[in-house]
Structure 1
């Protein structure tokens, strides 16, 4: 059996705040449709991921962003400028170990933007 990641989602405290961050600072485009309580994004290659409001079984006091690191392939120069212009904060600067940098979203998830 061959396995590949087809979809992923992360829970967020405030869906509107996170949706704004992922579109404005990171430049992601929303998919044409998202179910209630979620914001689905699709990239040019057809990969999808979603942000979603807390599921009913989730303890709202739990730590967000711990143990999860998201990696997205981008044009590194344009992405770095967009993150800063969009109000994002880079935790690292591009380089010196290749074209990549890390940002943190409103819920503490670390997002590595890299140029393959």
Structure 2
């Protein structure tokens, strides 16, 4: 009985190790002149998929420290996958000029 229990534990550990971590999906909205949410908490090494929607303009989304960039077209959901490599703050911003107030259209990821 004890041996069977150990074999089941070993099999369970082998199966658990074979599973890939499912990316966490986070919704993000772009609208003149802000992102919602502006601050997003992440864990280092955690796979992420951002689901980004622009409500009003062809905004840009840029994470300079990761050299990660995409255009955000109104009415479309853009999927952007990444894994934060280390703890710290990662800024993101709109890099398509969208009018007065554009320079304040930013946010950041707090990675722990």
Question: Structure 2 length normalisation: TM-score?
Answer: 0.28
Tell me which structure has the larger Cα radius of gyration: 2
The structure in which a higher percent of residues are strand is 2
- TM-score w.r.t. the length of structure 1 is 0.28
